[in-house]
Amino acid sequence: MAATIEEAGVAANDLQSQVKPFAETLKCAAYAAQGGRKTLQIGHLIETFGVENVAIISCEHGLGTISSRIDERFVFRAGDRQGLRDGYKWAGDKGFTTRDKWVCVDGGSRALNWINHDIFMGAQKALEGVIEGKSKQALDASFRKYSSYVTKEQDLNSQQMWWRTGYECEQLLDAFIKLGSNMYWTFWEDQTSISQYVKGVPWIPETPGKGALTAVKGAFDFVFRLTPCRIKDEATGELRDSVAATFRNPPGNNENYAKVRDDWDGGVKVPDRIDDFNLADFANLITKTTKGATKQ
C-alpha cells in the first residue's frame, strides 16, 4: 500500500512519547534506472539539513540535477578506486563523523566495479607475466599480490577472484559505516541473473557479482528501488512527475529487492511504498523529528 511521508508521520507522532532518543546512524541505499532521481535525493538532504552537513563523493560526475544546491567545499570527485579511498579520508578529515552529518556516495555501482576491475586486471597482468616466464616474486609490485590467483596450469582461479571482490566490497562499506555519519549510496538497477544468459526479477542494485550484492544487503538498513510516478500537485491540482520508493513488494509479487529495518526502539512501521519520495523527510520519519528541526 502506497503512503506519503506525512501519512506515515502521523503514526510516528503517536509513538513519540514511547520512543527513546535516536542513537544510530541511517544507512540508506537507493537504486534506479538512469534518470531515476537518485542524485536528487542528495539535494533534499542539503535543503533540509544544510549544505555544510552533507558531504558528497561523486563517482559519476553527474551532479547536474543538484548543481544549484551544492557547495564545492563539500564535494569530492573520485575517478578511480584510489580516488574513492582519498574521498573517504577527505570525509573523515572534514569532520563527517557524527550522527548529524551525511556522507553520500553518488555512483555506488561504479565504485564497487572499480574494486572488481582492480582484482581482475591485476590477476590478468600477473598471469601474463607468469606466461612470459617470470616467477611470481619477480612480477611488478603493483600487481604481484594478484599472482595468488594464477594456477599451476597457468590459468586464473576466477572463483577466488569473485570471492575477493565481495570481501573487499564488504570491507569498503564497513569502513564507511565506521565513519560514524549517516550514509546514502546510489546504485544503478539490474535484474537478477537466472542463468548464464537469462535475467529476471527481482530488480536489484547493480553490483559486480553476488558477493558484492551480499555486502550491500548487509551494510545498509534500508535498500529501496526508485521508480517514476505521477503526483497531483496540491497547489495547481495538476499531475507532475515524481518518484516512488518501494520498501516491500505486494503479496505474491517479487519484482523488487528491498530491505527495511523496523526494529528501532518504538520505531515507525515503514510503508510498503512511499510516493513522491523525499529522502530527508524519510530520515526525519525514522528519527522522529520535525522536518527541518535538525538543520544547523
Q: For 259-275, what is the mean pLDDT?
A: 79
Q: What is the mean pLDDT of residues 1-9?
A: 45
**Using 50, 70 and 90 to split pLDDT, how confident is the model at 254?**
very high
Q: Report the CATH number of the 2-19+26-287 domain.
A: 3.40.50
Specify the pLDDT at position 16: 36
Mean residue pLDDT across the chain: 89
Bridge partners (DSSP) of residue 240 are 231
Domain regions of the chain by residue span? 2-19+26-287
Tell me the β-bridge partners of 75: 56
The answer to whether 88 touches 176, Cβ cutoff 8 Å, is yes
Which tens digit of pLDDT belongs to each residue from 22-60? 458 999 999 999 989 999 999 999 999 999 999 999 999
CA distances to 84, 108, 169, 243 from 114, rounded to whole Å, are: 9, 10, 10, 29
Q: By CB neighbour count within 10 A (0-12 exposed, 13-18 middle, 19+ buried), where does 278 fall?
A: buried
Of 119, 117, 102, the C-alpha closest to 50 is: 102
Is this structure's pTM higher than 0.75? yes
What percent of the chain lies above the pLDDT cut of 70?
A: 88
